[in-house]
Amino acid sequence: MKNLKYTLIHQDRDARLGQIEINGYKIETPCFMPVGTQATVKFLDYRDIKDINASLILGNTYHLWLRPGEDIVEKAGGIASFMHYDGPILTDSGGYQVFSLADRRNINEDGVTFKSHLDGTTLFMSPEDSIHIQEKLGSDIAMSFDECIPYPSSYDYVKDSTLRTLRWAKRGLDAHSKADQALFGIVQGGEYADLREYCAKELVKMDFDGYAIGGTSVGEDKQTHYKMIDDTIKFLPVDKPRYEMGIGAVNDILTAIEKGIDMFDCVLPTRIARHGTLMTSKGRINIKKSIYKDDFSPLDEECDCETCQNYTKAYLNHLFRANEGLGNRLLSIHNLRFLIRIVEGARHAIKEDRFLEYKKDIISRYHFDQRGF
């Protein structure tokens, strides 16, 4: 704890340009963090991660606990060393798996019993376990063990769950002892403003190194999503980083930055890349469509990524039709670089007090679907 320092460099309305210093790393914020659940950003190697200019990547406690096991990762010298990645790592606590693996787990006050998705083994994770596993995984930033609450959920359910998450946060904080690892608290509270407020205030009293907004983008509409940010962020301290977990749609990221969020992560760019969809400055396109069979233009004229510099839509179309793994890698590189570049642009715009114009410009050129992707 206390190994993390956040400096607010400049503010443009609520949008923040800042810097996180941790374990010798300097991370400019806002920043987008690629997700590397099982100690790999799927299909990318350490050079690719460096090339897209990722400032931080995620690992996952639940997945690495199951395989290869935290002891192996510890022996390897931590996740970063294990995957030969030279940069900071943040680990999610397993709280998201309480949500995504809902049909194979049970929650009680002590923690969560999971039935392993790999072999069905019954396994128990307490908030203390999550912290101890993360200490062994050796991430630079650990997250509190929480329940990511589904939407919609009743007020009573959300209240009970959020209060339990708060108790878990305290238990995790007390269990945490690794000096070179920061620990963030996660605000839950669902769509209920009073619960968001209470949860945020209680976490702030505990004095974490940073605060995350959890339980968003779990199926709610945009209006509700953005209101959950508003209902939370006003209670978070200005001198600590704020992280909205699990967002990766272009307008979600820009909106979060506008509201004062500093960090976000998402599987969206890499997942849709593997499914043949790329994000471009004009919107999302599916590279598998036959119209790209003989389209020898780059994926995105404005992009500086390795893929756009060297390959054509026709080639990517062919790779996907032929089910060649290179297509997954090239599209993942592109989508990640695309989002990271948007966030880099946001940092410049904030510095020059023109963030809103920047956001408006990006959005106006991006064709969104009905749900706003």
Cβ-based nearer residue to RNA, 212 or 308: 212
Instruction: Compute φ and ψ for 112, nearest 5 degrees.
Output: -125, 130
Amino acid (one-letter) located at 140? D
Q: CA 154 to CA 191: how far, in whole Å?
A: 10
Cβ-based nearer residue to RNA, 99 or 311: 99
Distances (CA, A) of 347 to 40, 316, 317, 335: 27, 31, 33, 19
Cβ-based nearer residue to RNA, 11 or 153: 153
Task: Find the shortest distance in angstroms from Cβ 79 to RNA.
Answer: 13
Per annotation, catalytic residue among 92, 129, 231, 252: 92
Per annotation, catalytic residue among 12, 209, 262, 265: 265
Identify whether 119 is a catalytic site residue.
Answer: no
Helix extents (H) in the chain: 46-51, 61-66, 70-75, 79-82, 95-100, 127-137, 155-175, 193-206, 222-233, 250-259, 268-274, 306-310, 313-321, 325-351, 355-365
Identify whether 265 is a catalytic site residue.
Answer: yes
Contacts with RNA, residue ranges (CB under 7 A): 35-37, 41-42, 58, 60, 63, 92-93, 95-97, 99-101, 103-104, 117, 143, 146, 148, 186, 212, 214-215, 217-218, 245-249, 252, 265-268, 270-272, 274-277, 286, 288-290, 321, 323, 325, 328, 369-373
Q: What is the largest CA-CA distance in the chain?
A: 60
Q: Nearest 10 degrees: CA dihedral of 170, 195, 371, 150?
A: 60
Angle at CA of residue 70, ends 27 and 68, nearest 5° = 105
Distances (CA, A) of 48 to 179, 252, 312, 331, 337: 30, 25, 19, 12, 10
Q: Beta strand pairing status for 105-107 and 112-115?
A: antiparallel
Cβ-based nearer residue to RNA, 214 or 298: 214
Task: Find the shortest distance in angstroms from Cβ 71 to RNA.
Answer: 21
Cβ-based nearer residue to RNA, 35 or 158: 35
Task: Find the shortest distance in angstroms from Cβ 146 to RNA.
Answer: 5
Task: Find the shortest distance in angstroms from Cβ 300 to RNA.
Answer: 17
Task: Find the shortest distance in angstroms from Cβ 352 to RNA.
Answer: 27
- Catalytic residues, by residue number, are 92, 265
